[in-house]
Amino acid sequence: MIQLRNLPNRVANKYHKILGDRFARRVFIKTTSTPYISFSFDDFPHSAFTNGSSVLEKYGVHGTFFVSMGLLGTETASGRIATIDDIDHLIKNEHEIGCHTFHHYDGWSTNVKIFEQSVIDNLDAFQKIYPEGCLKSFAYPIHGPKPKVKRVIGRHFLCCRGGGQTVNDSNIDLNLLNAFFLDWRNCDNMEPVMKLIERNSLLGGWLIFVTHDVTTQPSQYGCTIKYFNEVVCHSIKSGATILPIARICQELGIS
């Protein structure tokens, strides 16, 4: 019965993914065999700052923290969202801050002009506080984008990230990078993560991990500190180059 009740949503999500994957593509051919891995955090909860960045810094690597400026300091399903002080610390410690719209709008259900304006509002709000700052990468909140949104938003950034639970191989869509979420779908299970890290190494691809909160008792959107630490540790052991998303774009010559 549960599967039957969820069937319409599952079909809709599959339909959205097919359209998002096939249309409004901005293709980049990755010619280097070097495998890359990035770690990113959506909505940027305070725990992603306190615990997520601490794990990364322990191993000498950095991540990408996607912020919706309109959510700063508020309470959400993934816990309390970060503050300006948290952003200050991350910037000083060479992490990347990415764009996530100002209002945390859904890329599929939101009107294209309204969605783009929320992106512009987020960029403006960030630059009012950090005049020299620039948000170079983007992550779509909630669901993946419809093709019109994908086409328009891709013009503002080096790259835009979605989901898909897979790696980016040599044929990369910069308007919708694949990513693997560390959340309720894995429940601290390292097996799919290790398989994906191995596949990324064999392909010479680009694997992007995503989560929200990183705590001892995470929401369905986040993961435990222990699990996150294990994922980072295995990523480093794989020999992949680990960098924030925009830094990898720059290394690959994407501009």
pLDDT by residue (tens digit) across 102-125?
Answer: 999 999 999 999 999 999 999 999
**pTM (predicted TM-score):** 0.93
Average pLDDT (24-42) is 96
The CATH number of the domain where 234 resides is what? Answer: 3.20.20.370
- Give Dmax over CA atoms of the chain in angstroms: 54
Residue predicted with more confidence, 112 or 5: 112
CB 138 within 8 A of CB 150: no
Average pLDDT (96-100) is 98
CB burial readout 89-116, b (16+ within 10 A) else e: ebeeeebbbbbbbbbbbbbbebebeebb
For residue 75, the enclosing domain spans 2-252
Rounded to an integer, what distance in angstroms lies between the CA atom of residue 76 and that of residue 63? 22
Rounded to an integer, what distance in angstroms lies between the CA atom of residue 177 and that of residue 30? 13
Residues 6 or more apart in contact with residue 236 via CB below 8 angstroms: 59, 61, 242
What's the number of domains the chain is made of? 1
Can you give the pLDDT at residue 50? 98
pLDDT by residue (tens digit) across 155-179?
Answer: 999 999 999 999 999 999 999 999 9
Whether the pLDDT of residue 2 is over 50: the answer is: no
Question: Which residue type is seen at 19?
Answer: L
